[in-house]
Structure 1
Amino acid sequence: MRKLVCVAAMLSLGVTQVTFSADLAGAKDHPLVSRFRGADAVGYGQADFGNARLPSGANGKHTDAAGRLTDIVYRAPPGKRAAEVFENYRQALAGAGFAISWQCGPGTRDDGCGGFRFAGDLADPVIATLKGDSSEMIKLLDATNNNVSYLIATLVKNGQTSTVALMVSQDDERPTGVLLRVIDAAPMAQGQVTVDAAAMAKGLAAEGKITLYGLHFATDSATLTPDSKQTLDEMAKALKAAPALKVYIVGHTDNTGALAHNEKLSQDRAAAVVKALTTTYGIAANRLAAKGLASYSPVAANTSEPGKAKNRRVEMVAQ
């Protein structure tokens, strides 16, 4: 039995990534999980941040993962059966320290060993986002003979959580296909879009409030970071353009930690914004009032990192 190129040997960051002449242009192995020896990468996609809903148990159970997202479709070499490819991956992942939380198969493609459809629920939506020949990827991953296996595994290393979802499929007389999804957990980079003064004024007029994700604080602190300046500049412009306008500056947190701590933290952060506007920009103190609401008013569920990121915010609310 040929063995998967050793996963454990690629666990350190900065490993040299090898590309193969038969691969789709731009495709490369993930640093943590290499290919089955001799396989070609025929589909590839990578995003600095993405969300993935991964089958993780029977009766439709799913796990939501968010972070740096890598999706690869491989075509195994001729003569390599799905069972051999899947078992090589399983052994290599386990040997590298991944905890396999669930595996199933071979099962049916339409209502498989977890009550989900391998092709429609898992493979097809991913294929639609990848570079490569979609018809070839569908042939590799949509096994009409029901020869499909799947596993989900997690590795925690140096404080970084990586989740792997693996689907191996083989239709009659066709090469074995592999769909590999790797999600390296990381918060979404915030502050990449700044709301300008005109948009703030429009939001206040239409909704009575505007959410400002461009205000950032040091971790577990009320200290504004330097990259908040652009948003503070626009807030001051909006307030100076409407001298009669009075606003509440409202701080919000996610639900991580004790509620009492978050109440104080959100109040202190709101007060820090008020202080910056009054001392640096000369906005009259009687036009501003700080209020911290901790996690009392979420705009998303606190069950995932993307939801928590949305809830960590400052709002400007018309009085």
Structure 2
Amino acid sequence: MRRFLFALLLCLPILAAADATVPTKDVDGAHDLPFLKRYEGSYIVNYEQKSFDQFVLPLSVLKKVPDHSDRMNNYVMEPDKKLVAEGRYTRLLYVVPAGRSPLEVVRNYVDEIRAAGGTALYSCKNEACGGDLEGNDHGGGTQGLLEKLYPHERVKAANFTNGNCASTMSISEQRYVAMKLPTADGDVTLAVLVYTVGNDLYCKALNDYTVAMVVAIEPKAREQKMVTVSAAEMARSLTNTGRIALYGLYFDTNKTDIKPESTPALEQIASLLKADPALKVYIVGHTDNVGTQGANLDLSKRRANAVVAALVSQYGVKGGQMEAAGIGMLSPLASNDGEDGRAKNRRVELVKK
């Protein structure tokens, strides 16, 4: 009955923007990850990147969640074990040259990642991964691995184009591996799903081709775009990451006097510390690279001392909860080559003791 109801929906008229074709170049704006090459002869047909996002990697077989269906009337599937990663999100879908199997392609990726020091967290193949072997827009059945890694609501490519067909066609074989890859900036979390697609309609040009989907989460802190960060947000960040960067504390150039417009930020810091008397933090001053290292170290420490003093004298925070420190220019969050980067580096951080 579930499949019959969904089949009725497929009878509604649809207009194809353009049929799929065997790709001969990458889609506009797409490029490989800097730390992971593509399989030789492949072309990128679908690409998405976000500066900060969350991604959930299954690390065990998908299992049916009782009495839960998704918006496509599929039974919802979830793994017992999973990894939740946050950072810079990149997803690439490559169409691999004809005649290449998912096994051959995935082993090439695994070899490449391991050669760079990476390690496998989990792997599976075909039905052993759990769920249906289907694209990410089927209905009336059971969610599959592709739908968990790339939900249909994220598909932005027009119907029946290569970028759409590469994830919506039926699957005849799949191989999946989740891995960690060390880089100079920290560990990258990687999901590689390689599968063979099939279709006899608008997407048939890709019939029997293999698609390699690579999803990467690179370590990157979320930018604090709200100038006044709430006490609750500070508490969450201190719990989750042990630190938070604040940009709502203002000083004149080369001065340590706190400007009046810093009041909202000071109030939220005070609220955080007074609500949890056991919480102890470092108040850490940071600067850009304008000036000498010695001058910036001194300035950042004096500014941190000024924040501590203001919180004690004006807001009644216990001095024992805070310790001032200055790092100067030694821990930038961005390049100092431009003003935007220098602005990100001029900050005060709370660091949990």
TM over 0.5: yes
2:35 paired residue number: 32
What's the TM-score, normalizing by structure 2?
Answer: 0.54
CA distance in 2, matches of 1:248, 1:25: 45
Deviation, 1:107, is 2.8
DSSP 3-state at the match of 1:149? strand
Q: Is the 8 A contact 1:24 1:42 kept in 2?
A: yes
2:193 paired residue number: 167
2:111 paired residue number: 91
2:144 paired residue number: 117
DSSP 3-state at the match of 1:46? strand
Distance 1:34 1:248, change over 3 A: closer
Q: Is the 8 A contact 1:54 1:63 kept in 2?
A: yes
Q: Is the 8 A contact 1:110 1:117 kept in 2?
A: yes
Deviation, 1:23, is 0.8
The correspondence for 2:250, drawn from 212, 229, 235, is 229
Query: Aligned partner of 1:121: which letter?
Result: K
Deviation, 1:251, is 3.7
2:226 paired residue number: 193
Unaligned runs of 5+ in 1: 1-19, 201-208, 240-245, 253-258, 279-284, 295-311, 315-319
CA distance in 2, matches of 1:176, 1:112: 18
Q: Is the 8 A contact 2:60 2:129 kept in 1?
A: no
CA distance in 1, matches of 2:268, 2:186: 40
Stretches (4+) displaced over 6 A: 219-222, 224-227, 266-271
CA distance in 1, matches of 2:284, 2:115: 47
The correspondence for 2:214, drawn from 153, 164, 180, is 180
Deviation, 1:264, is 3.1
Deviation, 1:85, is 1.5
The correspondence for 2:126, drawn from 106, 116, 140, is 106
Deviation, 1:47, is 1.7
Which whole-Å deviations, capped at 9, do the CAs of 1:35-87 have from their partners, x for residues lacking one?
11111111111122111111122350210111111111111122222222222
Deviation, 1:249, is 1.2
Q: Is the 8 A contact 1:141 1:168 kept in 2?
A: no
Aligned length: 239
- 1:66 correspondence with 2:86: yes
Unaligned runs of 5+ in 2: 1-22, 63-78, 134-141, 199-206, 252-257, 286-303, 322-348
Distance 1:289 1:247, change over 3 A: farther
Deviation, 1:169, is 1.2
